[in-house]
Structure 1
């Protein structure tokens, strides 16, 4: 198998300008430079990036979660709009969940726009279930957020699921490259 020109790794301060560009393309400027720097500085935060050595936009996606007690609270998962539907969101979600498992966390949670059916479908593929709704959560349009929940990250069955996803994602990304 040939080596993919893709890499997922923890972000560094040198990546922050690219992160801000990606944030602007995906969210219209959701977080500031200072907010991303706080994530990098926090021992309770993992900020990962999906990089390509062959793309014009080297940073194709980002994801972040906070470790809160025994829970991974996923705060951001975004893929540049030019690179949707190529398996990159799956790769990022796999990586964030694997990182959470490696940290010994027991469960994962997140909020997602109720209208974001593509993201909801992705999360459901990994076993997330709807746990509730936050009314008027998003201030830009007062849209509701669904609260999604994934328990048992340390359970052997979930560890097997992660291994299966690793194979599926690797196969898909190999075919896409």
Structure 2
């Protein structure tokens, strides 16, 4: 992803050294925060998918900073996506797409056959991203979000390793 204002991103497993930055990014994006201790605990569980996008811009390909993160859990054959969050500086530059792609692939490798998420009705950019990645609307949760109160669109996608043969 190097065309125009796109950057290269390394998608990597979240580590404990990332947690302060992750919690700050949650706050900046207006997300509910799990907190450092909760992330440190779930990081050790094998059915969680926790990824970060690091921007790569130096000639030697050194990573600098976290552009975004992905969190999800596999329950039986379902990947429940909790968050796809990207620092405002890196939005519309490929980080969310890379995180979603790699997160869904990781879910497939853990046995997920279907992916689920909720998204604010007003978050048209995220809805467009999810549609691009094969999601479709499956339902609506009335007044699901607070601050401000807003409905959530439930979106689902079939997951199959054959989808990831790039």
Q: Quick check: which one's strand share is greater?
A: 2
Aligned pair in 2 of structure 1 residues 32, 72: CA closer, same or farther (>3 Å)?
same
In structure 2, C-alpha distance between the alignment counterparts of 1:125 and 1:52, rounded to whole Å: 22
Out of 122, 126, 130, the position equivalent to 1:119 is 126
Q: Is 1:42 aligned to residue 45 of structure 2?
A: yes
Q: Quick check: which one's helix share is greater?
A: 1
Q: Over the residues paired in the alignment, what is the CA RMSD in angstroms?
A: 2.3
Contact kept in structure 2, 1:134 and 1:144, CA below 8 Å: yes
Out of 104, 115, 129, the position equivalent to 1:108 is 115
Task: Count residues with an aligned counterpart.
Answer: 157
Match of 1:71 in 2: 78
Contact kept in structure 1, 2:12 and 2:52, CA below 8 Å: yes
DSSP 3-state at the match of 1:58: strand
Contact kept in structure 2, 1:39 and 1:46, CA below 8 Å: no
1:13 deviates by 1.1
TM-score normalized by structure 1? Answer: 0.80
Contact kept in structure 2, 1:20 and 1:29, CA below 8 Å: no
Where in structure 2 are there 5+ consecutive unaligned residues? none
1:67 deviates by 0.6
In structure 2, C-alpha distance between the alignment counterparts of 1:118 and 1:133, rounded to whole Å: 18
In structure 2, C-alpha distance between the alignment counterparts of 1:122 and 1:67, rounded to whole Å: 21
Q: How does 1:1-177 map to 2 (within 5 A)?
A: 6-27=9-30, 30-54=33-57, 58-151=65-158, 153-154=159-160, 159=162, 161-164=163-166
Runs (4+) of structure 1 exceeding 4 A deviation are 53-57
Where in structure 1 are there 5+ consecutive unaligned residues? 165-177
